[in-house]
Every structure is written in structure tokens, then in C-alpha cells.
Amino acid sequence: MEDYRLVKKAKKGDKEALLQLIMKRKNQYYRLAFTYVGNEHDAMDALEEMIVLAYEKIHQLQKAESFYSWTNTILVNCCKSLVKKRLKLVFLDETDSKKQPDAITNPYIVREQQLDLQDLLSRLNQHQREAIALKYFHDLDYKSISKITGVSIGTVKSRIFQGLKKMKTLYGADADE
């Protein structure tokens, strides 16, 4: 009920109400952005851009209860735009910035698992990787993933299923080596 009231105030131009809504889920927004862009600096840039766009376009929001899925979609689009601008440039110092926020820091086991998971995910196509990250790293349901990615729920389920199947096959192949 509080969020509904804040959305209504934000739609009338109240910047503070918009910021309150965003701050309620700042950690979730950050993790979502980090998943797409892979480093803290770009994640923060995407968040800033999302806030500006949300403020500029809040009047376009049809349903107050859709605020968080609407802002998630804006954030994902900002992240995709940033990634396109980088054109897959890889910097040597980026390997250290790939650490997940709030990760448990066991220097051997956790890092090895992260590298294995990153390797498996990197072998999937972009759509499978995106759907799996949204489902398992951000705990989003199929409907939310569908809205964010702009594809049907069936397509989301298929991408996740096929991606997990490929990861399982690849993991088995790597274990045999």
C-alpha cells in the first residue's frame, strides 16, 4: 500500500517518492545490473541511468503495481546498452572485478566454483545465459523474466531448460577430461 502511494506521488513529479521506491530495492537493482555488466562501475552507471529514465518516463507507467517490473526492464535495457557500447572489450584488470557482491569468501572452493560456473555460462548463447541468470541469480519468476526480456513465457522456459541441459552436458564432458 505504501509503494502504491509513493508511485502515485512520483507520477506527480515527486522526486523524493521515486528515490524512496528505488532505495527500497537498491540491492536487488544492483545485483541485476552487476549480472549484466560484470563490474561495479558499470553497474552503478546503469543504475544512475535507470533512475534518470524512470523519472523522465514515470508518467508512462500505466499500473502502479507494475513499478518494480517496469524499472527492472528499464535497468536491463540500460545494461544492454552499456554492454553494446563496450563492444566486448576485455581489460586485464576486469578479472578481479568479476566477484559477485556479498559472495562468501573461501579463497579456494568458492573461487573455483565461480570459475566453473562462469565457464559453463559463457558457453551458452546470450539468451540462455540471460534467462538462467535472471531465474537463478535474481530469483525472478517466468512472468517477470518474460516482461524484462520481451519474449513469451514459453520461450523463457525453453531457454532455461535448454541452457541447463547444455550446462549439464558440458559439466559432464569437463569432468571426464
CATH topology of domain 103-177: Arc Repressor Mutant, subunit A (1.10.10)
Contacts for 130-135: CB closer than 8 Å, 24+ residues apart: 130/36, 130/159, 131/156, 131/159, 131/160, 131/163, 132/159, 132/160, 132/163, 132/164, 132/167, 133/35, 133/36, 134/32, 134/35, 135/160
What is the pTM assigned to this prediction?
0.61
Every domain range in the chain assigned CATH 1.10.10.10: 103-177
pLDDT tens figures, 5-31:
999 999 998 999 999 999 999 999 999
CATH topology of domain 1-87: Rna Polymerase Sigma Factor; Chain: A (1.10.1740)
Every domain range in the chain assigned CATH 1.10.1740.10: 1-87
**pLDDT given for residue 98 in this prediction:** 47
**pLDDT given for residue 85 in this prediction:** 75
Query: Which of the residues in the chain have pLDDT under 70?
Result: 86-115, 173-177
**pLDDT given for residue 84 in this prediction:** 78
